[in-house]
A and B are shown apart, each in its own frame.
Chain A
Amino acid sequence: EVQLEQSGAEVRKPGESLKISCKGSGYNFVNYWLAWVRQMPGKGLEYMGRLYPADSDTRYSPSFQDQVTFSVDKSITTAYLQWRSLKASDTAIYYCARPGALGGLDVWGQGTTVTVSS
């Protein structure tokens, strides 16, 4: 079964760093792009960007460029989303999702809730 398993909920203070994970299984992880999607409380889906595990090619949405970092560890089929200095406005659910061959995000992780509060 194709799955994306995300790390658990996190609570941090403003200014702290954070790295959340998304582990792929049941498919050839390195040969599929992996996208990240933000959903702020009570709001819609926002596309953050995507990463290609085979060569770490990364395409950030301009709104998230320089705000977050995508990375991957191919050896453990895991992708990461990282912040160096969190803000309260980073409070959201973050999903990883796999685009299928024709672009639709056909596999989703369960989401990681990030809460940033002093």
Chain B
Amino acid sequence: DIQMTQFPSSLSASVGDRVIITCRASQSINTYLNWYQQKPGQAPKLLIYTASSLQRGVPSRFSGSGSGTDFTLTINSLQPEDFATYYCQQSYKDPRAFGQGTKVDIK
């Protein structure tokens, strides 16, 4: 099975900061990588699919990049509503595993 590793597991940031979260796959997944945001008490929300495509309605301060095994989610100019936990997920091969999550909280 493909393992997904995210880092860091948590970070503290301020409003206006640029935040970068990294996700690494245990083998090449081409660009079959998705990013989600989850706030407490809510279902996850798809932000980015196929590594760099922005889901409809997601603000353009979110961006994704990478291919093969290494991927990043960048949040430019962090906003108060962006404090949440972020997950990557591969959709290259079953089982379509998630990373362990990165919690972004207020510095």
Assess the B91–A99 pair: CB atoms within 8 A: yes
Contacts of B53 in A (CB 8 A): 102
**Given A45-B44, A62-B95, residue A104 in contact with residue B34 (CB < 8 A):** yes
Contact of B43 among A47, A59, A63, A95 (CB under 8 A): A95
Over the window 88-118 of chain A, the binary record of Cβ atoms lying under 8 Å from chain B Cβ atoms (1 yes, 0 no) is: 0000000101011011111011110000000
Q: By DSSP majority rule, is chain A's interface helix, strand, loop, or mixed?
A: strand
Assess the A47–B49 pair: CB atoms within 8 A: no
Interface residues of A in 57-76 (CB under 8 A from B): 59-63
Contacts of A100 in B (CB 8 A): 46, 49
Give the contact stretch, choosing among B65-73, B76-84, B97-105. B97-105
* Residues of chain B whose beta carbon lies under 8 Å from any beta carbon of chain A: 1, 32, 34, 36, 38, 43-46, 48-50, 53, 55, 85, 87, 89, 91-92, 94-101
**Given A102-B49, A106-B55, residue A46 in contact with residue B98 (CB < 8 A):** yes
Q: How many residues of A contact B (CB 8 A)?
A: 26
